[in-house]
Amino acid sequence: MNTAEKIYREACHLPEPLAQEVLDFIGYIEIKYGLRDPQAEELKSAQAQAMSHVWDNPEEEVWNGL
């Protein structure tokens, strides 16, 4: 079992708020080590609120698992 699989197994047992905190920390590590573009992440966050009515509606639920 590799490290990512171990992290997944541990995260599955966490309550949702703590799992989100782990996910946020992974994002921080990715930005810190240049694995993710911080400006692109800021743009994603900025558009999330404006697009939530498009992305989060009952008709679009079919796409959530993909």
Average pLDDT per consecutive 10 residues, the chain (66 residues; last block may be shorter): 94 93 91 83 78 71 66
Residue whose entry in the numeric block shows the structure tokens 């966490």:
14
Boundaries of domain holding 59: 3-63
Encoded tokens for 61: 């639920």
What integer pLDDT is reported at residue 14 of this predicted model? 95
Of 29, 9, 60, 16, the C-alpha closest to 52 is 60
What integer pLDDT is reported at residue 18 of this predicted model? 94
Q: How many residues does the chain have?
A: 66
What integer pLDDT is reported at residue 25 of this predicted model? 94
The backbone region for 37, taken as left when phi is positive above 0, alpha when psi lies in -120 to 50, beta otherwise, is beta
Q: pTM to 2 decimals?
A: 0.56
Q: How many separate domains does the chain show?
A: 1
Q: Quick check: 22 and 11 in contact, CB under 8 A? A: yes
What integer pLDDT is reported at residue 11 of this predicted model? 94
What integer pLDDT is reported at residue 36 of this predicted model? 81
What integer pLDDT is reported at residue 44 of this predicted model? 78
